[in-house]
A = this chain, B = another copy of it.
């Protein structure tokens, strides 16, 4: 069950990377590389920070197959995928929820203090998308839009608090994921954005 959800998250992130790559007019290999980078980048950053060697993402072939396969599917069918834009955003929210809570749990299990575990969990969820945007010469969306970082923070804190209160890990992970997904879906649906600083000339 959890593995199935993980693969859905990976496919969602891979699709978001591949769609962005198609828009930037990359060729089929560039699209595949960007799908892999977006889907696996966050998990690789987590493992580098925590000292897990070699990174799980590199030695788990279903992750690679799902990410690469999703990239190729987007490349061939992208006009249809474009129409599925809402579905991709929903899947991206699911991916964010699963990656942040899984990253936070992994860090806690390896003995990181709660605030460090939250940062590692947020990096897991946000890292792949940030890498995607940097490679395509964009300011990472997470820095600019729609309550992305704060949704991730909320989910990570939920997991860390649950761990401190000795609640069952599964329940806490589900609660954190649901929180993240709900906040992201509401933010997209209602056009929520965080406050921007006052204009310099204001």
Contact = CB atoms under 8 A, between A and B. Distances in A.
B27 A193 contact: yes
Interface in A77-133: 78-79, 82, 107, 112-113, 115-116, 119-120, 130
A142 interface: yes
A107 B134 CA distance: 27
A59 B116 contact: yes
A195 interface: yes
Contact of A113 (B59, B139, B200): B59
Contacts of A116: 54, 58-59
A137 interface: yes
Interface of A: 21-34, 44, 48-51, 53-55, 58-59, 61, 64, 75, 78-79, 82, 107, 112-113, 115-116, 119-120, 130, 134-140, 142-145, 147-150, 153, 193-198, 200
